[in-house]
Amino acid sequence: MTRLIVWRHGNTDWNATSRVQGQTDVALNDLGREQARTAAPLLAALRPDAIVASDLSRAAATAAALAALTGLPVRADARLRERHFGRWQGLALTDAAARFPEEYARWRAGDPDPGAEIETLDDLGKRVGAALQDAADLVPGGTIVVATHGGAARQGVGHLLGWDHTVLRTIGSLANCHWTELRHDDVRGWHLRAHNVGLITRPAPGEPV
């Protein structure tokens, strides 16, 4: 049975101020680094066989905390990047709402293609889902930890499970440095074993984008 741990990166200053990151390369802040150091021993105890990460620095640095404990290399995969938020990237959510009110309303309502050059949920799920499957294929029957992003994790996991985006909206968002656990076997295929697992070091405000 293959175990796939899909791990969201630690906190950033843009998380804390509700600024849209998307594929902008924003580093972890002090809280984010603390979160990664706190989570890493819990994941190391699962005895991972491989670590894969988005090439954006907030995910790569999160993965590095686990690599430091396990001695495993971190494989980078650009397909694990967060959803591209088009014309919103770099904006505070309040500014996005003011400048793009129709698109913002559609996004909040869960429209899979809200406009403003934002990557569609279908494209995001296919991109990240393929990367997750390739990561799992590195060590069939092993444990693979993948460090990625909140929106990317949701849609990528949903793609593997075959869940529609309307179903995914009923699942809570991953907190910073929390993870989802999937298992795969030849009979059941991919199935969800746990979601939003981890330790909260202290409350962190902000939207998971």
* Residue ranges per structural domain of the chain: 2-84+122-197, 85-118
* 13 is known to lie in a ligand binding site: yes
CB-based burial, 23-40: b 16+ in 10 Å, e otherwise: bbebebbebbbbbbbbbb
| Domain range 2-84+122-197, CATH class | alpha beta
Active site residue 82: yes
Cα 115 off chain centre by: 22
Cα–Cα distance between 207 and 209 in angstroms, integer?
A: 6
In this prediction, residue 209 carries a pLDDT of 46
* 29 is known to lie in a ligand binding site: no
In this prediction, residue 123 carries a pLDDT of 98
In this prediction, residue 75 carries a pLDDT of 98
pLDDT tens-digit profile, the chain (209 residues):
999 999 999 999 999 999 999 999 999 999 999 999 999 999 999 999 999 999 999 999 999 999 999 999 999 999 999 999 999 999 999 999 999 999 999 999 999 999 999 999 999 999 999 999 999 999 999 999 999 999 999 999 999 999 999 999 999 999 999 999 999 999 999 999 999 999 864 444 444 44
In the set 34, 82, 119, 149, the catalytic residue is 82
In this prediction, residue 148 carries a pLDDT of 98
Which H/E stretch holds residue 155? Answer: helix 150-161
* 14 is known to lie in a ligand binding site: yes
Q: What are residue 91's phi and psi, to 5 degrees?
A: -90, 145
* 10 is known to lie in a ligand binding site: yes
In this prediction, residue 200 carries a pLDDT of 66
Cα–Cα distance between 65 and 17 in angstroms, integer?
A: 24
The label of the residue with tokens 């699962």 reads 46
Contact in structure between 190 and 14 (CB atoms under 8 Å): no
| Cβ neighbour number for residue 142 with a 10 Å cutoff | 15
